[in-house]
Chain A
Amino acid sequence: MSTRITYREAVREALREALAADPRVFLMGEDVGRYGGCFAVSKGLLEEFGEERIRDTPLAESGFVGAGIGAALGGMRPIVEIMTGNFSLLALDQIINTAATLCHMSGGQFHVPLVIRMGTGAGRQLAAQHSHSFEGWYAHVPGIRIAVPATIDDARGMLRAALASPDPVLIFEPISLYNMEGEVTEAASAVRLEGAAIRRPGRDLSVITSGASLWKCLEAADALASEGVEAEVIDLRMLRPLDDAMLLESLARTHRALVVDEGWRSVGLAAEVGMRLVEQGFYELDAPVARVCTAEVPIPYPRHLEEAALPSAPVIAEAARRLVGHAK
């Protein structure tokens, strides 16, 4: 049985299910209660679960993330919403110096079962201070797991898996996908917090991506297919840990890899993925690993400039053509 809903509704359903299933779970963040969430994800939850469990916070990311860590240490299962990835930088100290380290520093005595959800990425004309993609930065840090749900099923299922983790999990929800419609399938109830997924099989090259870029890659793959180039599109899903085994298994079949990332190219996620392919799959490579990333500028506000800065299906397709020697 399947239902057609938006990505936003899938996340809301996941929150509702978690709140209903476990009294230790509560949601905390800016405007999550009376306003219903900046992106309307938590709309209606205040009325349904009350002020104790749907808590509006001051505009103080470091403070409320710290409160979440304390609650997790105290036995609760907090879900902290940070409006955008840009704002999460105000809570970096709490996330990296505290949440990510306590298990290690306590010799395994203290776990921090905290889930932080945040909006990420561009595409909604929210300009440079609300549109950046920092999931690759967080994936640098040991002690936390980084999840990027790109599909309706993952939006619906990843929260449950994250709440089951004894350690901090950051879920990056691409804000450009909130209005995307799709079906929730039975697979949503079996979502795991590990592993990449092949979203489209192909034999000619592996296109490795995550988040909102997945859909651009699939669009590019359609265009390529009409030219006889079969691209395999892989959704990383988890940026930490990365599913090296699947990437290498795909590379062993296609021998060519294109990494597409909405983050910037320099010192970024795409560099990490590409380097792992080279380190572990060097003898499978039939062409240099290629990257399509966001232009190295703060994300512009005007729509045409924002679109020009981001990876797009035509640019991805052209990079793929070059990689397989079919450049136009």
Chain B
Amino acid sequence: MRSEFRLPALGADMEHAVLVEWRVRPGDRVARGDVVAAVETDKGVIDLECFETGEVCELVASPGTRVDVGGVLALLEVEASAGPIAAARAPAPSSRPVEPSAIASATAAPPRAAAGRVRVSPAARARAHDLGIALEGIAGTGAGGAIELADVEAAAPPAAAATAPAESPAAPRDPVAAMRAAIASAMARSKREIPHYYLTLAMNLDPALAWLERHNASVEPAGRLLYPALVLKAVALAASEVPGFNGHFREGRFEPAAAVHVGVAIALRGGGLIAPAILDAAGKPLDVLMSEFRDLVSRARTARLRSSELTSPTITVTSLGDVGVEAVLPVIHPPQVAMVGAGSVLQRPWVADGAIVARPVMTLALAADHRVSDGRSGAQFLDRIRQKLGAPEAL
């Protein structure tokens, strides 16, 4: 069966990408999850994974061209059972450790009807026709992902739509500004749509840090852990145990996720922010999680992330621990429903056995979606994270 390999939306705010290079040639065999191309997005260069298993027939897009989300990149010959619609309809990833292609395609491309028809409002369709814009690849923000008038107008090249094709790869492009715009769009949507509530909890990190110090002293540098890795693991475990914080809110309802893919907010040195996921963080031993965390940070900073890492987070953690802030109250990344902020570890007066002593204290903050959870379960979730961090040997 002939299948179109289309550019997936690597995040709700992505509208297009520039094809950097192909990693396959016509005739090559590809399997689900194989990296087939690299595309440049507002979030940097992303390795694009294939959704299906089959043979590459034709490379439709050539390197250097801009492709809209949903635009056809290549044609594949695939086994009949693994059609793109079946893949797109697949349920959220199960507890199997890593299934990148399923995760990527679950949020790929604008939702379509079974017949492959894009949902477009009549007014949007008419406007797109007037502007001469292809509807394929416009990211719809309406109900069920429908493309509406505003989406078409946002996709229109600024000012003169009639002149100069904006697709020219030579057009000047400011990646920092583009990332800023992407963050602006996602954060504005978050604050517009998500009724956040916030809880904070200060905890004594001494047991965790003492354990960490002993562990790190006993291993070579490559085996050492950073305390944020403990926080990531604790959050992942708590999210898998306390319901209502791990998953996505889509079309008016909460869809819990089976596995916990923890998004890690990573600040980029040139400015900007990206939050790729450590897949199935709850199910990984600490040393594996740490090495993936290190790998993720370095690839985020060199802009070599994989598409599945960007589309899969089910909850996100941010840490501003190196900067000295007391607490960080995060803004949830839609369509996720919770985000945990870890403040700096600061020496603070702490009451232990009735005496005031100096202890390393960290303030954990939870921002959660009040459509999905309430303060009491939020408090239980934060407390569960504290319990996990209080027993680091069990992480």
Contact = CB atoms under 8 A, between A and B. Distances in A.
Interface string A263-303: 00000000000000000001111110000000000000000
B123 A328 contact: no
Contact of B148 (A283, A286, A327, A328): A286
Contact of A325 (B122, B123, B126, B143): B143
Contacts of A328: 195
A286 B252 contact: no
Given A327-B252, A328-B195, A283 B143 contact: no
B149 interface: yes
A203 to B, nearest CB: 13
A279 to B, nearest CB: 12
B141 A286 contact: no
B154 to A, nearest CB: 13
A287 B125 contact: no
A255 B252 contact: no
Contacts of B195: 328
Interface in A142-168: none
A260 B284 CA distance: 55
Nearest to B124: A286
B148 A287 contact: yes
B125 A283 contact: yes
B256 interface: no
Given A255-B149, A327-B252, A328-B195, A287 B143 contact: yes
Nearest to A322: B143
Contacts of A283: 122-123, 125-126
Contacts of A284: 122-123, 126
A288 to B, nearest CB: 8
Query: Among the interface residues A286, A287, A322, which one has the most CB atoms of the partner chain B within 10 A?
Result: A286
B179 to A, nearest CB: 25
B36 to A, nearest CB: 35
Nearest to B121: A286
A286 B124 CA distance: 6
A326 B150 CA distance: 14
Contacts of B124: 286
Contacts of B123: 255, 283-286
Contacts of A327: 252
Q: Which of B123, B126, B195 has the most CB of A within 10 A?
A: B123
Interface in A306-328: 322, 325-328
A287 B142 contact: yes
A312 to B, nearest CB: 21
A281 to B, nearest CB: 9
A285 B118 CA distance: 16
A254 to B, nearest CB: 10
B149 to A, nearest CB: 4
Contact of B121 (A287, A322, A326): A287
B14 to A, nearest CB: 19
Nearest to B129: A283
Contacts of A286: 121-124, 142, 148-150
Which of B122, B125, B142 is most buried by chain A, counting CB atoms within 10 A of its CB? B122
A207 B141 CA distance: 22
A72 to B, nearest CB: 46
A325 B148 CA distance: 11
Nearest to B146: A287
A322 B251 CA distance: 11
Given A255-B149, A327-B252, A328-B195, A285 B121 contact: yes
A248 to B, nearest CB: 13
A325 B121 contact: no
Contacts of B192: 326
Nearest to B192: A326
Contacts of B252: 327
Contacts of B142: 286-287, 325
A326 B252 CA distance: 12
6 contacts: A284-B123, A285-B121, A286-B121, A286-B122, A286-B142, A328-B195
